[in-house]
Amino acid sequence: MKPTRIPIVTILGHVDHGKTTLLDYIRGANVVDSEAGGITQRVSVFTVDVKDGHKVTFIDTPGHEAFDLMRSRGGSIADIVLLIVAADDGVMPQTEESIEIIKNSNAKPIVVINKVDLPGIDIEKIKRDVTNKGIFVEGMGGQVPVVQISAKTGQNVDMLLETISLVAQVEGLIERPDLPNGLVGKAFVLESVKDKNKGKVSTVIMTHGELSRGMWLGYVSKGKTYSEKVKGLISENDENLELLAEGMGGKILGLSELMELGSEIFVTTEKKERKIEAVIAQENLENIEESNAVDLAALFGQAVKEEEKTLKVVVKASSEGSLEALRKTLSKVDEDGYKVEIVQDGLGDITQKDLEMAEVTKSIILGFEVKIEKGVADLAIKKRILIKTYDLVYKLVEEISDAIVALSSPQESEEEIGSATVKAIFTLSNGTTVIGCQVASGVVKKGGKAYIVRGDDIIGEGKIESLRHEKETINEAKKGVECGVIVSNKIEAIVGDTLYCYKVIK
Ligand SMILES: Nc1nc2c(ncn2[C@@H]2O[C@H](COP(=O)(O)OP(=O)(O)OP(=O)(O)O)[C@@H](O)[C@H]2O)c(=O)[nH]1
Ligand SMILES: [Mg+2]
């Protein structure tokens, strides 16, 4: 079984609500007093020892409105988010913004009401206000834990740490995809600064695997890929580190370029520039495809106006010749009156300009033998604009035609791929039901459709959102394997029911 990694906990909340004071208390330090104007202006990462040899990584973020990107970056990487609300101030603009970050992430929230040492405070009002903004807390009909603390006196901080461990254990950490082959680690860049003594310094957090001094780092800066040996690694307190384990944060020194904020960096044991380039290109594509996981036709569907029956596209290609060929071929596509309209075409990689064009014209972007410029892929995901790149013309035309066929005749069929016997039902603290099963035939797959059947009746159905074997997340469970299944819809399954897994064919 995989060792459980160190949980990543991001602290979010309005300015001056006590985020840094809380972290100072937890690590027995004193940062607040040394901050300019008492305001946090950068993201910092600390891995601290909590009870029983367990470690937790905390990301402190600034609460001032100017630092919204730092907050959302901190939120995007977290397993758990502490929403700090000062009891005397209540829900304020950056509390609300932090709530939005939480709602858009997979992180598990814990509401922390701070400054309860102050007189004349109304805890119930804060709980109500937070719930009204969509974080449903305990005691208000929801499940999100609320801990009342004083970061100044330390009151209930122990209880908060216990709540963090409990949430991490019971609800689990965010699932991260496996590392690409040949890599030993992957990290996320939270902050990069030019320090006059230390040079270029990047604060990173290890999301996968590990990084130690002497290993090689691959990263992209201003569109160029670099591969460099790690010369220095320090903690937030400038102590030398030999290793960053999974879930730990730290600073990398001595790189020749500044790492881009929010980018991912890749760790190899030797110099592997080519490999890294390939991985980065692949990840860009996967990110896009994942975000558009709905299915191609559905996304094409967004770009097609029913009455016009046209699919609008922006086309980029590597040469004038291939562009010409594409124009010609795409103009011939006609499926039941559905056609392709090229709103713009050009040579070279897919850029932000292309994205803007696609956005205003409600198009998708097709690339032929071109790459996607750094940053554009992420932006496309946010804006939900589909980018597809191809190296083979016929593939491109084939996929477009298939998608158009699917549009003009939307049909689905299902095929049974496995069945399992329901052995136990569990409920997680957030109310999610886990169906414990043993696979009786075939295979049960994540992403597949599940039907729960009792006798001759279908009790419920839904998509298989998560699949676990013991504590490990898996993609499929074969005959004989016991697994915990979470289905998208609430189903009142009981022991003895049968779960059938179906593959949906479009
Ligand atoms: N009375 C009381 N004061 C507190 C408590 N926690 C923090 N403070 C005070 O609130 C002020 C702001 O605390 P910080 O920890 O700097 O707040 P912050 O959320 O980190 O602020 P930014 O990083 O600027 O967003 C400081 O003067 C702290 O001493 C508490 O539990 N009780
Ligand atoms: Mg602070």
pLDDT digits (tens, 9 = 90+) for 249-265: 999 998 888 888 888 89
pLDDT score recorded for residue 291: 43
In 3D, which of 456, 298, 281, 467 has the Cα closest to residue 376?
A: 281
Looking at the fold, whether 258 and 117 belong to one and the same domain comes out as no
Domain count, the chain: 4
Looking at the fold, whether 22 and 161 belong to one and the same domain comes out as yes
pLDDT score recorded for residue 385: 82
Task: Give the number of the atom of ligand 1 that is nearest the alpha carbon of residue 114.
Answer: 31
Range of the domain at 357: 296-408
Looking at the fold, whether 159 and 56 belong to one and the same domain comes out as yes
Measured in Å, residue 246 CA sits from the centre of ligand 2 at 25
pLDDT digits (tens, 9 = 90+) for 120-163: 999 999 999 999 999 999 988 889 999 999 999 999 999 999 99
In a domain? residue 364 = yes
In 3D, which of 409, 403, 432 has the Cα closest to residue 491?
A: 432
Q: How far is CA 415 from CA 397, 405, 502, 506, in A?
A: 28, 21, 5, 11
Candidate of 11, 15, 16, 95 to mutate for ligand 1, largest count of ligand atoms within 8 Å of Cβ: 16
In a domain? residue 209 = yes
pTM (2 d.p.): 0.61
The conformational region for residue 375 under phi > 0 = left, psi -120 to 50 = alpha, else beta, is: left
Looking at the fold, whether 314 and 360 belong to one and the same domain comes out as yes
pLDDT score recorded for residue 314: 93
pLDDT score recorded for residue 293: 38
Low-confidence ranges of the chain (pLDDT < 50): 1-3, 288-295, 297
Q: Which residues surround ligand 2, an ion (CB under 5 A)?
A: 19-20, 40
pLDDT score recorded for residue 3: 45
In a domain? residue 52 = yes
pLDDT score recorded for residue 496: 93
**Nearest protein CA to atom 6 of ligand 1, as residue:** 18
pLDDT score recorded for residue 244: 94
Taking the C-alpha atoms of residue 282 and residue 288, their distance in angstroms, rounded to an integer, is 10
Looking at the fold, whether 28 and 80 belong to one and the same domain comes out as yes
Q: What is the CATH number of the domain that holds 392?
A: 3.40.50.10050
Structure tokens at 477: 């469970």
In a domain? residue 3 = no
Q: Can you point out the beta strands (E) in 1-157?
A: 8-13, 44-49, 55-60, 80-86, 108-114, 146-148
Q: What is the CATH number of the domain that holds 221?
A: 2.40.30.10
Looking at the fold, whether 335 and 425 belong to one and the same domain comes out as no
